[in-house]
Chain A
Amino acid sequence: GQNIDQPTEMTATEGAIVQINCTYQTSGFNGLFWYQQHAGEAPTFLSYNVLDGLEEKGRFSSFLSRSKGYSYLLLKELQMKDSASYLCAAWREGGGADGLTFGKGTHLIIQP
């Protein structure tokens, strides 16, 4: 079976840094995706980690530890537009879309 856990809701201040954690338990793990989803909109791809370590993309970074079944998304210099849900998704080997399991999402609220 597969299990993805992430916090339901987080609050942070504009200009600050926030870290959203995700733990997973999945057989045949192949990689970890992060998506951003604004209310009423489609998820948009943020990052993908296969190997252990940090992947940086501008204000967004994602980290993976395969041995610990753990990932985090780091958002720097927070802006009001970053208020959204952040979805962690584990991808198991096989490669097809049926191997992609999403967490419930973390609702991030940015305060002025």
Chain B
Amino acid sequence: DAGVTQSPTHLIKTRGQHVTLRCSPISGHKSVSWYQQVLGQGPQFIFQYYEKEERGRGNFPDRFSARQFPNYSSELNVNALLLGDSALYLCASSLQEVVLEAFFGQGTRLTVV
């Protein structure tokens, strides 16, 4: 069985640009959560989607947005990129809305220059 897959694995963008990150959850999982992990820190919650609806939002600016598609895959969009957005972006999927066990993807390493 395929685990959580994220694309791309690495990305370099320039300040002010826009980026779209993609995530495919484990088959049968309906909840997708997005986290930002800056080097040396723990993951910080950005969004949770369950059944295509936003169920939670962390303390991130409106430049960050996300959506979930009918096949439960998800996109994270970040506009007007700042240097501080450089981080590992992790997607986690879980079977239900209640996150008892989250399975993380390998992440997308975003570098903003």
Interface residues of A (CB under 8 A from B): 4, 41-45, 48, 87, 89, 91, 95-105
Chain B residues near A104 (CB-CB < 8 A): 40-42
Chain B residues near A96 (CB-CB < 8 A): 48, 50, 55-56, 97-99
Chain B residues near A98 (CB-CB < 8 A): 45, 48, 55-58
When the two chains form their complex, are residues B45 and A97 in contact, meaning their CB atoms are under 8 A apart?
A: yes
Which of A4, A48, A98, A101 has the most chain B CB within a 10 Å cutoff? A98
When the two chains form their complex, are residues B42 and A42 in contact, meaning their CB atoms are under 8 A apart?
A: no
| Minimum CB–CB distance for A50 against chain B, Å | 9
Q: How far is the CA of A4 from the CA of B45 in the complex (A)?
A: 14
B62 at interface, CB cutoff 8 A: no
Chain A residues near B4 (CB-CB < 8 A): 42
**Extra 9 A-B pairs, beta carbons < 8 Å, given A96-B55, A97-B92, A100-B102:** A43-B104, A87-B43, A95-B99, A97-B55, A97-B99, A98-B56, A102-B42, A102-B43, A104-B42
B106 at interface, CB cutoff 8 A: yes
Cross-chain contact of A42 among B44, B58, B105 (Cβ < 8 A): B105
The chain A residue with its CB closest to the CB of B31 is A97
Chain A residues near B94 (CB-CB < 8 A): 97
| Minimum CB–CB distance for A59 against chain B, Å | 19
| CB contact under 8 A between A95 and B42, given known A43-B90, A44-B104, A45-B102 | no
| Minimum CB–CB distance for A47 against chain B, Å | 10
| CB contact under 8 A between A100 and B104, given known A42-B90, A43-B90, A91-B99 | no
Query: What would 25 A/B residue contacts be, using CB atoms closer than 8 Å?
Result: A42-B107, A43-B43, A43-B104, A44-B104, A45-B101, A48-B100, A89-B42, A96-B48, A96-B55, A96-B97, A97-B33, A97-B45, A97-B56, A97-B92, A97-B99, A97-B102, A98-B56, A98-B58, A99-B56, A99-B99, A100-B102, A102-B42, A104-B40, A104-B41, A105-B42
